[in-house]
Structure 1
């Protein structure tokens, strides 16, 4: 069971978590718990780390450490009075370590990827102590493990590390023996390299942690506890009548999460898929709701489209030129230049004339991409590079689209009748996702139009 930042944000939330876990512990279920940092703490850690590199004033470090101490000790005293003193001693050790590394970063005037990763794990390092103490207060034996101690071995890419196959054996040997005796509380979001260097798994990486650990112990199920009832047909902030999906396939969730759906980490499905483990997404604050089950092969229903999502902070890049036509290796040069600049390409579209390739990238990477591609213009490989920031990408997702005739026609007819211009279209060979790009101002309108067109607010046909 993984509990996100909103699920462990304060004393009431932690009490609710203990209630949930206790129910299963008393039924003799073997439960491992993964916890995130308290809501907002990771953002604060990132901000202080980046600030002190440039700041002349070290007093901000002390005041920040004090605020963390007060925040976590307040919750600790409320949920685990009998164990607060013991947990506070360990918390002081961890706060001292954090203060030392922040002080070192300040004096060196350098924040390396390695030190940044170490700093931003302290939200989980502090909060795991609180949750563990709360379990013990309720009479549930518990112990705290960081991701490395639990056996998560990763690649060395700081900030976006990925689990290695060696994790399975280590997790099984370290975590599995504990389950018959207690509820281990594992700090999410982190692992370590084979040399023991701390790495992080990307933002919202606690989902990924839970999936890695679940696969490592061959769990019956992996439960992702969050603050919504499950995975929805669309963002409820955009679609008032968005509906919770009872079931969805691994592949559909991967498409949705990649295109901006916030419920799951994009990579968190792969370990579960590899071991064919059922994943449940449930609401910590409404635990009786059945939530959403993520399964390998979902029973096909009568509708072809399952859900919609969109990303609004993207940019469109068009590379064109007659010199590209029939010239082998042009695409390779374009994508190699972007890869060398560490620019991630999210969508690709190419005209049959070969004179134009259009890409969608993260808006924050646009300037880097322009520099990389301008070099190709100077070399005469392409004629022109144009960009547009005022766009958003919409994804229409559903396994039922594979082989279904007329789905594309319905999508683009509905958009045309709504007066929405489509600037770019992309579809993968799996036929599970049709993505397109529209003006930023039309993004939410496109979502509402298609949600109505495919009647996604109506319950599944059983």
Structure 2
């Protein structure tokens, strides 16, 4: 067969057992595919630690960020020590780890000294992408130890992006030119490139990142530019699930889905995929498989243009904030205030999921991305309430935590019986708002946070089964 891109998530590269499984998978697929491209995530938890190190550097807390870097170094060196590597490979790998982390300490110091906000965001990206650079080197060394030509590749020299640091967007045409110039010749020489996920670079060579969970996005963009035949995402779960197993015990694997259905799930809270990674695959018609790295014999979930069945396949829940006022008003002032608070607290602009107005009230629901962390909703709620007190001219708004429950099914807008069953399942839950997705394969309802678990369970039990 032709070209396969495989992305391995953080759990897949975090332990000796997991890495052994990764190498076994690569060896097996090398027998079946002519060309392999591997995209590596950071070890589980490392990116969070790097973000904290960058935050401490901004506060000029040298002791704090040095302690975090020392912990990351110890973890990687301990992992390398346990791996079946020759002395030469181990020594070279240890030297690479030290060099990357020492360089990062210099960036932390520069971040401490930075005065301009733009300079801060640039240095942040240079810090938080180091985890993928470390793991790519480890995987490449293991491939070489198993007689494969593994080479770690820095994606900042391959994936060309704009300069929106922290949430950069790849330039497909510019990236394709570099892939054709630098990557494809390597594949023809039977090299297996192990590419750092999450990280890109501007035309001038400054490192960027493409958003949390962005290794998925890296894999899909590179697949599109390399003309890949398939993309496989290796995770710690069995595929796309009908609900988050942590929320719904009866959640099950979905065998097949369309691009649109998967994109809706990713956008509305399914943590397994980056929300933007589907678009390049859809544009170039590249199938996606989502598989469990610890159960490679299972088929997982297959994603392509269309998938059989028009029933509700999955239901998700994502947190957010609901703002309500009983005063006649426009949305301009409150939208600007919300956007400013979100940018200050979690570093990204507000995602207004729904706004509704009547003669007596106005309601606004804003999604809090899962990548913002567990405490983000509470922090944003507190910050918004404070900002509203400081700016009474915006109006008298209440701010409460809400949840957006989304049911995903192809052509849900053309199925009145299915919609009737959905609303029947939600009979006991007061609905704050209802929204139809523009892709026509999702319907979202906004409920109070305290009603979310019951609503999720009822939809799954009565409709998905």
- Common topology (TM > 0.5): yes
Q: 1:355 to 1:335 in 2, by over 3 A?
A: same
Q: In structure 2, how many angstroms separate the alpha carbons of the residues matched to 1:60 and 1:444? A: 38
More divergent stretch after superposition (357-366 vs 119-128): 357-366
Corresponding residue number in structure 2 for 1:198: 207
Q: In structure 1, how many angstroms separate the alpha carbons of the residues matched to 2:384 and 2:136? A: 40
Segments of structure 1 that go 5 or more residues without pairing to the other structure are: 325-329, 458-462
Corresponding residue number in structure 2 for 1:281: 290
The reply to whether residue 164 of structure 1 matches residue 179 of structure 2 is no
The reply to whether residue 84 of structure 1 matches residue 90 of structure 2 is yes
Corresponding residue number in structure 2 for 1:215: 224
Corresponding residue number in structure 2 for 1:385: 397
Corresponding residue number in structure 1 for 2:425: 414
Corresponding residue number in structure 2 for 1:291: 300
The reply to whether residue 153 of structure 1 matches residue 160 of structure 2 is yes
Alignment of 1:123-134 (within 5 A): 123-134=131-142
Instruction: Give the secondary-structure state (helix, strand or coil) at the position aligned to 2:429.
Output: coil
Q: How many residues are aligned here?
A: 439
Q: 1:429 to 1:55 in 2, by over 3 A?
A: closer
Cα drift, residue 175 of structure 1: 1.4
Q: Is the 8 A contact 2:239 2:290 kept in 1?
A: yes
Aligned residues: CA RMSD: 2.4
Corresponding residue number in structure 1 for 2:457: 448
Cα drift, residue 6 of structure 1: 0.2
More divergent stretch after superposition (210-219 vs 23-32): 23-32
Q: 1:273 to 1:85 in 2, by over 3 A?
A: same
Q: In structure 1, how many angstroms separate the alpha carbons of the residues matched to 2:68 and 2:351? A: 37
Counterpart of 1:308 (choices 315, 322, 325) is 315
Counterpart of 2:128 (choices 105, 110, 120) is 120
Q: In structure 1, how many angstroms separate the alpha carbons of the residues matched to 2:338 and 2:64? A: 38
Instruction: Give the secondary-structure state (helix, strand or coil) at the position aligned to 1:384.
Output: coil
Alignment of 1:41-440 (within 5 A): 41-54=46-59, 58-77=62-81, 78-82=83-87, 83-106=89-112, 112-149=120-157, 151-165=158-172, 166-180=174-188, 181-299=190-308, 301=309, 303-312=310-319, 314-322=320-328, 324=329, 330-331=330-331, 335=335, 338-339=338-339, 342=343, 343-351=349-357, 353=359, 356-362=362-368, 363=377, 364-366=379-381, 378=393, 384-389=396-401, 391-416=402-427, 419-440=428-449
Q: In structure 1, how many angstroms separate the alpha carbons of the residues matched to 2:114 and 2:204? A: 24
Q: 1:298 to 1:11 in 2, by over 3 A?
A: same
Cα drift, residue 370 of structure 1: 5.8
Cα drift, residue 48 of structure 1: 1.9
The reply to whether residue 18 of structure 1 matches residue 23 of structure 2 is yes
Q: In structure 2, how many angstroms separate the alpha carbons of the residues matched to 1:36 and 1:442? A: 35
